[in-house]
């Protein structure tokens, strides 16, 4: 009866070694490979930074919504601070990618303030 295990894997314990029938791919252009790696690292770093700051923004909006006996100025202040941190998150992402920081994208920082004020007083 024929075995379902491929012939090269019949020797037990040697599957982790180099297979001469399937050699590793040699990188043809190491500079392109380094550029690709740098691009991926930039995206990972910017996603982590922006996501972390956005968690702070959401926490500030939730705090503003859940403040019951505080004056309205405190709730508005927390929402404005959330908007400032939202703009900082956008600026951080732009800076990591080497883009100009003063750009129309900074207007996204107003979105947490608008949503927070709507949730707080709406």
Among 85, 89, 73, which Cα is nearest to 113's?
A: 85
For the chain, the domains span 37-121
Distance CA 116, CA 108 (A): 13
For the whole model, what pTM was predicted? 0.73
Tell me: the pLDDT tens digits for 63-120? Answer: 999 998 889 999 999 999 999 999 999 999 999 999 999 999 999 989 999 999 999 9
Tell me: the pLDDT tens digits for 21-67? Answer: 777 777 677 788 788 889 999 999 999 999 999 999 999 999 999 99
């Amino acid at each position: 009866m024929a075995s379902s295990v491929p012939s090269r894997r019949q020797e037990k314990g040697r599957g982790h070694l180099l297979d001469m029938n399937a050699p590793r791919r040699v990188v043809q252009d190491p500079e392109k490979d380094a550029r690709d790696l740098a691009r991926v690292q930039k995206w990972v770093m910017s996603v982590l930074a922006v996501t972390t700051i956005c968690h702070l923004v959401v926490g500030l909006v939730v705090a503003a919504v859940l403040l019951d006996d505080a004056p309205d100025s405190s709730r508005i202040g927390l929402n404005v601070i959330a908007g400032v941190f939202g703009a900082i998150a956008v600026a951080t992402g732009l800076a990591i990618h080497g883009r100009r920081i003063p750009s129309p994208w900074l207007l996204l920082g107003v979105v947490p303030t608008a949503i927070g004020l709507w949730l707080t007083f709406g």
